[in-house]
Amino acid sequence: MKENKESYKNKWMQLPRNVVVGHDVISDTGKVCKDLKLNGNALIVAGESTLKAAGKTVEACLEEYGFNVDIAVVRSPAYDEVKRVEELSTEIKASFLLGVGGGKSIDIAKLASTYLDLPFISIPTAASHDGIVSSRASILKDNRTVSEAASTPIAVIADTAIIAAAPYRLLIAGCGDIISNYTAVRDWELAHRLRNEPFSEYASIISKMTAKVLIESARMIRPGIEESAWTVIKALVASGVAMSIAGSSRPASGSEHKFSHALDEIAPQPALHGEQCGVGTIMMMYLHGGNWQEIRDSLITIGAPSCAVELGIGEEYIIQALLNAHEIRPERYTILGTGLTREAAEKVARITKVI
Ligand SMILES: NC(=O)C1=CN([C@@H]2O[C@H](COP(=O)(O)OP(=O)(O)OC[C@H]3O[C@@H](n4cnc5c(N)ncnc54)[C@H](O)[C@@H]3O)[C@@H](O)[C@H]2O)C=CC1
Ligand SMILES: O=C(CO)COP(=O)(O)O
Ligand SMILES: [Zn+2]
């Protein structure tokens, strides 16, 4: 019986073909696209500030190689933005998309290209998250973050000069997103033991290794230094590869991410994704009975937030997010189980000095 063409797509490990990292690699964008045999019309998907930081350069480099280029400026990673990008892509008969910016721009471009079945190129302008190469997109649906399967970029172009020049806070956020892999993998192992959830040794080892290497190099992560950008980008790429191998965000998203997503829903001014995940990791590592002090010390060494005050979020929102967290993606079992009591939430936040 001829297997349904679509079925293999639930089993594949989709990885990017070319990952280009280095000083001024952005000027190779046209060549990278030509080498990938891409032709025709390109659609750049970027935010306001990332259009200035890199989008206009990408446009010029593509036009130099004969591509027609259009630009979509996006704001929040919501479905209506994805829809708008899809419609524009269809209107201009785009043959490929390029996500230029932080995680939100990249996710919107990633998901729109998935729906359109078009090639997608990821051009991070900051090392702030590990969605750079992943086969996932985290999109807002009714104010709740949902993680969707998406097409892995066919190429990643990470210009370390641009990334090093981005606000240092973004690099620190990327470190937080990587360090969070420690508790994400512990949650995954727990779900495998308690619920026989499918588990990938390879993906979990790669994911833990990114956090270990980053923590060991915490002292050399500094603002404005391309070497630091390189170190974090390599970790983010490896973490994204772990997600692609697992075919889910499990290696990089557990209870600490549920906490961050819960904060996004209730905090008046959420902090950056990676900053919230870092603080969540401290508390979830405590719940796991692990070395939460090491996590906290590493975040402090890097200069990342380690408490509510440094996140700029009130204590009550931290407690409430801890109480709500288990309801985010309830099918994903973590150390939060069926939820914390208020006493337990206050205790973990106090003992770990988050509040
Ligand atoms: N798909 C996946 O596997 C993953 C997705 N994510 C998603 O990514 C998002 C978080 O990404 P972030 O980058 O933290 O948020 P973001 O996309 O909102 O970017 C943060 C801010 O940095 C600015 N920025 C980026 N590059 C800049 C530059 N070079 N110069 C000046 N400003 C610059 C952006 O304009 C934005 O204001 C969340 O929505 C999260 O859910 C996070 C991890 C994995
Ligand atoms: O942020 C991510 C990994 O760092 C993606 O995780 P989610 O699947 O929770 O959106
Ligand atoms: Zn994350």
Whether residue 147 has its Cβ less than 6 Å from ligand 2: yes
Look at residue 344 and tell me whether its pLDDT is greater than 80. Answer: yes
Angle at 282 (CA atoms; ends 333, 270), nearest 5 degrees: 85
If one counts every other C-beta atom within 10 angstroms of the C-beta of residue 161, the result is 13
Question: Contacts for 267-271 with beta carbons within 8 Å, 24 or more apart?
Answer: 267/313, 267/314, 267/317, 267/321, 268/317, 269/312, 269/313, 270/313, 271/305, 271/311, 271/312, 271/313
Q: Give residue 64's pLDDT band: very low, low, confident or very high (50, 70, 90).
A: very high
Q: Give residue 76's pLDDT band: very low, low, confident or very high (50, 70, 90).
A: confident
State pLDDT tens for residues 202-233.
999 999 999 999 999 999 999 999 999 999 99
Look at residue 11 and tell me whether its pLDDT is greater than 90. Answer: no
Whether residue 103 has its Cβ less than 6 Å from ligand 1: yes
pTM: 0.95
Whether residue 167 has its Cβ less than 6 Å from ligand 1: yes
User: How deeply is 295 buried, as exposed, middle or buried, from its count of CB atoms within 10 A (0-12, 13-18, 19+)?
Assistant: buried
Contacts (Cβ under 8 Å, ≥6 apart) of 15: 133, 152, 241, 244
State pLDDT tens for residues 155-181.
999 999 999 999 999 999 999 999 999
The residues pairing with 100 across neighbouring beta strands, listed in sequence order, are 46, 123
Establish whether 288 is an annotated binding residue: no
User: How deeply is 118 buried, as exposed, middle or buried, from its count of CB atoms within 10 A (0-12, 13-18, 19+)?
Assistant: buried
**In terms of pLDDT, which residue wins out, 124 or 149?**
124
Contacts (Cβ under 8 Å, ≥6 apart) of 273: 103, 128, 129, 173, 177, 260, 264
Look at residue 144 and tell me whether its pLDDT is greater than 90. Answer: no
Establish whether 128 is an annotated binding residue: yes
Helices (H) and strands (E) in the chain, counts: 16, 8
Q: Where in the chain is the domain with CATH 3.40.50.1970?
A: 18-165
DSSP E strands: which ranges in 126-183? Answer: 136-141, 144-149, 155-159
CATH topology of domain 18-165: Rossmann fold (3.40.50)
The whole-number pLDDT of residue 14 equals 80
Whether residue 124 has its Cβ less than 6 Å from ligand 1: no
**In terms of pLDDT, which residue wins out, 141 or 8?**
141
Say which residue the tokens 């280009």 belong to: 20
Q: What is the mean pLDDT of residues 326-340?
A: 97
For residue 137, give the amino acid letter. Answer: A
Lowest mean pLDDT among 9-13, 96-100, 102-106, 250-254: 9-13
3-state secondary structure of 167: coil
Look at residue 260 and tell me whether its pLDDT is greater than 70. Answer: yes
Looking at the CA of 251, name the nearest ligand: 2
The residue length of the chain stands at 355
Q: Where in the chain is the domain with CATH 1.20.1090.10?
A: 183-351
- Tokens of residue 151, six digits: 């097409």
Q: What is the mean pLDDT of residues 20-44?
A: 97
Mean pLDDT in the chain?
95
Nearest to 295 by CA among 165, 208, 167, 190: 208
Contact in structure between 233 and 127 (CB atoms under 8 Å):
yes
Looking at the CA of 272, name the nearest ligand: 1
Look at residue 5 and tell me whether its pLDDT is greater than 60. Answer: no
Q: Give residue 1's pLDDT band: very low, low, confident or very high (50, 70, 90).
A: low
Look at residue 3 and tell me whether its pLDDT is greater than 70. Answer: no
Cα–Cα distance between 152 and 17 in angstroms, integer? 9
Domain 183-351: state its class. Answer: mainly alpha
Lowest mean pLDDT among 142-156, 262-276, 319-333: 142-156
Q: Give residue 9's pLDDT band: very low, low, confident or very high (50, 70, 90).
A: low
State pLDDT tens for residues 82-96.
999 999 999 999 999
Look at residue 255 and tell me whether its pLDDT is greater than 80. Answer: yes
The whole-number pLDDT of residue 77 equals 84
Residue nearest to atom 2 of ligand 2 (CA): 253
